[in-house]
Amino acid sequence: MALRSIAVLIITILLEIQNLCISAAISRADFPNGFQFGTATSAFQYEGAVKEDGRGPSVWDTFSHTFGKISDFSNADVAVDHYHRYEEDIQLMKDLGVDAYRFSISWSRIFPSGSGQINQAGVDHYNKVINSLLANGIEPYVTLYHWDLPQALEDKYTGWLSTEIIKDFSTYAETCFQKFGDRVKHWMTFNEPHTFTTQGYDLGIQAPGRCSILFCRAGNSTTEPYIVAHNVLLSHAAVADIYRKKYKNIQGGSLGIAFNVIWYEPATNTQKDIEAAQRAQDFQLGWFLDPLMFGDYPSSMRSRVGNRLPKFSPSEAALVKGSLDFVGINHYTTFYARDNSTNLLGALHSAIADSGTIALPFNGTKPIGEKANSIWLYIVPQSMRTLMNYIKQKYGNPPVFITENGMDDPNSIYIPIKDALKDEKRIRYYNGYLSYLLASIKDGCNVKGYFAWSLLDNWEWSSGYTSRFGLFYIDYRDNLKRYPKQSVQWFKNFLKPTK
């Protein structure tokens, strides 16, 4: 055997030993004092009760009731009925042993028309949820916008495509600070702006379903994603300015955004693919976090998108830069990135194609890791550590919360409940990702908390009910009964306080 082959073998064995050490049994006690563990949910996926207590319709109500948009033809009119069962679900969290609960407020429950008259019944509901959480020793982490734009604003001025939304979103956010900020100390203005920007306005596969490259009734994939993203950033900055000037000193809270981040590995060790992986990240996380940290979009976006990419005025750049108190990261999986040298997609001039990369969970026919249920979700736990170190090095080690992390199993009528509750793969997933998260903290990464997605099986957007992400199984055929999966006991053991 050649010396090079022996060296590669030795390195491989050493890495495997390191991986085994990292993936050994871990517990809450291994993490720093004060580290927060919780579960995450969103209003539209959980609450149901879409026409109760004065709630107005959202773009997702419209989208989910449009034929062919949801894979199983379902909708979230009932979802998992969390609106009526929140006390039961909070008790499940308390029994689990979590410190915190991340949930979103439905904008159209507070302002049924997106602006104007406040709906007191909506305010009352979230006051009851927050008070119940605190009474059970669970800290609320609140997302203001988890994709459910009031339909009235989409009809009035095309929602996020108009700068008018900055004022309406600011009014909504400030109302939440006024009504709930005495008890809520952790706010996220947006969940996954990259996701709803690209999938809602580039590919058209999420609400409001706009695009120009597929079967959409309206849209422009070459410009609209960038306009939407720009208005989202300006909306966040306006809200952060209001919070810091009027509420932060009194209420003592903090404000962030939850970003979706696939980690990208170069498909080969060629310079082209290494650069492609960085571009893929620039067009995902960098698109939003670079302006918030540095005051402008990544240079790769400026050069490749040109005048289709909006510009910040000096005053806007100053307002956007530094407007985050913490960085939320929703991390599930890892893809290979390859340079798009053939330019097969480049002629489309969409936000997906503009990066000049092809990103897939395969390298040839070899998958990057074990597959979960979703076609995009492969299990690559070591990337959690790599990603945390990337954020530490590029962005100056800001405070980070893992605001979502989890995996799904299929929902099938042919899988008996007793078998569906045996979710060993999910236990391996959580153990692996938490182990590498702990390793990143030991590397010096400034990680403050972790939220598992999700507490319950729920309605998964365009996948409907075909996908089960929950720690608790929902029986959709028997009054939405909640059953603990084996991962619940694993988390109970993991979160058990040391004596």
Compute the radius of gyration of the chain from its Cα atoms: 22
Instruction: Give all strands (DSSP E) within 383-495, no chain letters.
Output: 400-404, 409-410, 447-452, 467-468, 472-475, 481-484
404 is catalytic: yes
370 is catalytic: no
The DSSP bridge partners found for residue 474 are 482
Burial of 437 (0-12, 13-18, 19+ CB in 10 A): buried
Other C-beta atoms lying within 10 Å of the C-beta of residue 345: 17
Among residues 47, 154, 316, 404, which one is catalytic? Answer: 404
Q: Are strands 472-475 and 447-452 parallel, antiparallel or unpaired?
A: unpaired
Residues 140-174: b if buried by 16+ CB within 10 A, e if exposed = bbbbbbbbbbbbbbbebebbbbbeebbebbbbbbb
Q: Encoding tokens for residue 426?
A: 């999910």
User: Is residue 443 within 8 Å of 456, Cβ to Cβ?
Assistant: no
CA distance 331 to 49: 29
Q: Specify the 3-state DSSP secondary structure of 339.
A: strand
The DSSP bridge partners found for residue 266 are 337
Among residues 139, 192, 224, 460, which one is catalytic? Answer: 192
Closest to 337 in 3D by CA, of 298, 301, 366, 363: 363
> What is the DSSP-derived secondary structure letter of residue 158?
-
Burial of 177 (0-12, 13-18, 19+ CB in 10 A): buried
What type of residue sits at position 196? F
* Catalytic residue positions, numbered: 192, 404
